[in-house]
């Protein structure tokens, strides 16, 4: 995890630093309808916009991911419950088939005995 963080964060930090160095020119930011105006470096304005976007989108993304994880957890629990039920039903079916086979064998045995008795009489 640390390696992935370094591989992602380091290039982004280098690009952000190069961007800040290349965009040092001052721009006027007007806060209409308020009478305030700010003189800021261009990179403050642009990186501030990116940061603001991350602050707004981050919680929305987190909430979406949380909901998806919760849904996946519920579905996994349902799958496990259904797999347990399938196993139980298969075992029950096997027991019933074994019982039916035993009944058929007993009926055949009884039929053979009756046939043997009626043939001997």
pLDDT at res. 121: 57
Q: Helix, strand, coil shares of the chain as percentages rounded to 5?
A: 85, 10, 10
Over its length of 121 residues, how does the chain's per-residue pLDDT go in tens digits?
688 888 888 898 899 889 888 888 999 989 888 889 999 999 899 989 999 999 999 999 999 999 999 999 999 999 999 999 999 999 999 999 999 999 998 888 888 777 777 766 5
pLDDT at res. 102: 92
pTM of the model: 0.52
> Which structure tokens are listed for 82?
């259904």
């Amino acid at each position: 995890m640390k390696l992935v963080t370094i591989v992602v964060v380091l290039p982004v930090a280098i690009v952000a630093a190069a961007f800040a160095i290349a965009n040092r020119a001052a721009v006027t930011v007007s806060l209409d309808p308020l009478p305030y105006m700010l003189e800021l470096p261009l990179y403050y304005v642009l990186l501030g916009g990116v940061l603001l976007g991350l602050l707004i989108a981050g919680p929305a993304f987190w909430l979406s991911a949380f909901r998806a994880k919760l849904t996946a957890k519920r579905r996994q629990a349902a799958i496990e419950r259904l797999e347990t039920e399938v196993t139980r039903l298969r075992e029950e079916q096997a027991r019933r088939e074994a019982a039916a086979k035993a009944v058929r064998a007993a009926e055949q045995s009884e039929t053979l005995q009756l046939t043997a008795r009626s043939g001997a009489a």
